[in-house]
Structure 1
Amino acid sequence: MPRVLVVEDDAQLVRALKINLQARAFEVEEASDGGSALRLAAAHRPDAILLDLGLPDMDGVELIKAIRGWSLVPILVLSARHLSEDKVRALDAGADDYVTKPFSMDELLARLRAATRRQQPTAETAVPLVVTTDTFTIDLVAKKVRREAETVRLTPTEWHLLEILVSNPGHLVSQRALLREVWGPTHAENTNYLRVYMAQLRRKLEADPAHPRYLITEPGMGYRFEP
């Protein structure tokens, strides 16, 4: 059953969306602000996100950018903003589609079905459940890491960082996206957190932590897992 995250602070619209989505075999989760949306998206990995741009704690475009730092989940914007520049900003930030309010529920559902079909993983794009390197193995389901046949003990924060990076192999994950997702939106500028925890991960996983092979820093930008 595909999972949809509805990010909207209009309770009446959320209720209507939930009824229609559940009637068509979608599982629905709700968030009324950007911080909650980030936490739910990270924890439950929805198959699609329906997003209102006018959120109480952040602009929806900033939320799109934050999610795009680590995920390619389809994002469909639902907004009362009709100006072309608003649409361009959202699409340039990484939204897959833009639906203006009021909208036809049938049209929205058709666009949602199309977005989720396009996102179906293939053998080439799907992230494996077990990631194996020459140095260590990561089991994303069991949440376990082994190095040279020994179990590596990670803190919850270390695991969360590693899971995000490994789930986006070869892709840069921005510092801001990692900070928002692991520590929350109020810590989006605390890059020293990342330096400390990434150093700990390298000491535990890399053969030569001073010259990492897998956990790569892109100076001033973010981090990348290189399989």
Structure 2
Amino acid sequence: MAKILFMMTGSDHWTLKDGSRRTSGFWAEEAVTPLEAFRAAGHEVTVATPGGVVPPADPASLEPGTNGGDEGAARMRAAVEQSSEFAHPIALADVNPADYSALYVPGGHGPMEDLAVDADAGRLLTSALDANTPIGIVCHGPAALLTATRPDGSNAFAGFDIACFTDKEEELAGSALTAPWLLETRLKEVGLRVEEGPPFRPHTQRDRNLFSGQNPSSSAPLADELVRVLA
């Protein structure tokens, strides 16, 4: 059994370009699907957020339209509400990275609000990279990589190939014009290489100990890859 740290957003909103707030949080599929896969493989998951607040699910990720209908939405809501891991997070500041065999970061626009500027998130990701600990990260979760900097200011993941929610997908989703910044663009600016798959289709990327997925539909294959690595 491995101990896996879920680094999750604590923000229930995303601040837009005009200063207004959009309700947000983590995208349920990107957290629930890997959580269930890791549990099924016998692993233990601990959730950590900035300040140790309970991570909020983006309401849009619990709707029938994003879960294949009413039955899927009900299952997703139940999975979020009944998760003891989500209900009892610890603070990122209190995490000892040596206690965990893998680190996983689900997306949603929430991470764009807090993990993208959280020094503890950067500390944990850099420590995991240097210890060759498997890192799984999906959709907007790679926003957390922006804080993973070396003493000279360079990004610890510069030169890595990565999958993330692309600028094209942000445009197709109708969020690009109101976004304060775009994830793919920002990751490229700090030196990562974004490998783009077809919009909204499963696409994963591995570079050394960094395992990444492009969008919600990539969370299941990404979790499967991490389960194989941890076996």
What is the TM-score of this pair, normalised by structure 2? 0.38
Point out which structure has higher relative CO (alpha carbons under 8 A, 6+ apart): 2
Name the structure with the higher strand share.
Answer: 1
What is the TM-score of this pair, normalised by structure 1? 0.39
